[in-house]
Amino acid sequence: MQAGVYDGKNIKLVDIPKPKLTEQEDLLIEIKTTGICGSDLRILHGESEPQKLPIGHEMSGIVQEVNSLKYEHLIGKKVAVDTVSAGKACGYCKHCLNGYYTYCIEKDEDSGGAYAQFIKRRAKGCFELKKDMNFNEGALIEPLAVAIQAFRKLNPVTGDNLLILGSGTIGLMCLYVAKQMSFNNIFITGKYEHQKNMAKYLGADFVLDYDDPNLNENIYDNTNGYGVDLSLETVGSYSSQIATLSDAVKFTKKGGNIGVVGGFRVPVEFDFLIPYMNGQSLIFPICYNFIEGKHDFEIAIDLFNNDNLDLSKLITDQYEFTDIEKAFQHANQSRSEVIKVHLNN
């Protein structure tokens, strides 16, 4: 099969073996759409070692093969796939038994990610899409599930004020989820005009420029001088100079919660004394899990396109899978234009 594999400089289209089903729970999924995540761009930022397998984790596709009669009913079904946690989790370690598949200590050996024609994952990581959902929408379920996990982990209460730092895909997905909840004011920061326009479409109460000198005043004046109850850092960084984590501390009330949702790929300097003295809690939601009887992917599928909001507007560009190198370069170099880039097989 064809796959997009990093050769030490760029993503290149190469031929690799199709994954073989080995476990009873294994399914073979034909990939139809894959989203390029900002975290995947890390390979263009300092990685020099060639890789043998494709990465990629935002995907939808069709179940083509199963390895047990138990799952025959899934053949031909459209699915979104949790490729990094439930789809690879053993199912029997302490973490899995408690629904925390992300923390599984016996995950399957890597068989390749979603920048390919096919992927192998366990059945418990595959979630059937609604009949009226297309594959582009299905590939948005993964980042939506990340946002859902963040709120489930931080457990806000009615009437809270919320600040979302960053208007990339995850920040905007967090905004979408927040609008389904009972927040008082929702503040969001953005760097580029197209991001801020999308934040307005999704219903933020205050859309603020990330480097506005009046940012502090805008937030504190609209929270009775306290600061927000909850903030979500969704930017992360490939640079040690990032200030969003410190900003989250600065704009969150004493005793408030700070969710670190963005992935920091390099060490950053951070003064822990300030949140310590403020009694603030730093919480690190990651990926998605199975909580109180439901996986975050299931909730994401149920919640998709509520209130007549079209989440597919986040897809700013689409490429054929065979143009993966060009798609990666565009996603990396056109930050002032891009929100989400999709590859279609």
pLDDT of residue 277: 98
Residues 8 and 110 in one domain: yes
What averages of pLDDT result for each successive group of 10 residues across the chain (345 residues)?
A: 94 96 97 95 79 96 98 98 97 96 96 98 98 97 98 96 97 97 97 97 96 93 98 86 89 98 87 96 95 95 92 98 96 93 97
What is the number of structural domains in the chain? 2
pLDDT of residue 322: 96
The tokens describing 151, both together, are 């709120």
The tokens describing 200, both together, are 């307005």
Residue 278: inside a domain, yes or no? Answer: yes
Residues 32 and 132 in one domain: yes
Residues 214 and 186 in one domain: yes
Q: Which residues face 58 on adjacent strands?
A: 35
Residues 128 and 157 in one domain: no
Domain that holds residue 319: 2-140+304-344
- CATH assignment of the domain containing 179: 3.40.50.720
pLDDT of residue 306: 87
pLDDT of residue 330: 95
Residue 233: inside a domain, yes or no? Answer: yes
Residues 102 and 46 in one domain: yes
> Which residue, among 305, 309, 289, has the nearest Cα to 297 in the 3D structure?
289
Residue 291: inside a domain, yes or no? Answer: no
CA distances 282 to 10, 125, 276, 313, 318, Å, are 36, 28, 10, 32, 36
Question: Diameter of the chain by CA atoms?
Answer: 62
> Which residue, among 320, 319, 321, 301, has the nearest Cα to 311 in the 3D structure?
301
pLDDT of residue 268: 85
pLDDT of residue 148: 98
Residues 82 and 191 in one domain: no
Residues 269 and 339 in one domain: no
* CA–CA separation, 192 and 166 (whole Å): 10
Q: How many other C-beta atoms lie within 10 A of the C-beta of residue 66?
A: 19
Residues 166 and 199 in one domain: yes
Residue with tokens 């927000």: 228
Q: Which residues contact 322 (CB under 8 A, 6 or more apart)?
A: 2, 13
**Would strands 340-344 and 26-36 be described as parallel, antiparallel, or unpaired?**
antiparallel
Residue 293: inside a domain, yes or no? Answer: no
pLDDT of residue 45: 72
CA distances 331 to 9, 30, 182, 335, 337, Å, are 16, 24, 34, 7, 9
**Would strands 78-81 and 162-165 be described as parallel, antiparallel, or unpaired?**
unpaired
Residue 299: inside a domain, yes or no? Answer: no
The tokens describing 118, both together, are 């096919």
pLDDT of residue 44: 76
pLDDT of residue 241: 66
- What is the model's pTM? 0.96
pLDDT of residue 240: 66
Residues 241 and 330 in one domain: no
Task: With both helix axes pointing from N to C terminus, report the angle between 169-178 and 141-154 in degrees, rounded to the nearest 10.
Answer: 60
pLDDT of residue 265: 81
> Which residue, among 182, 166, 137, has the nearest Cα to 301 in the 3D structure?
137
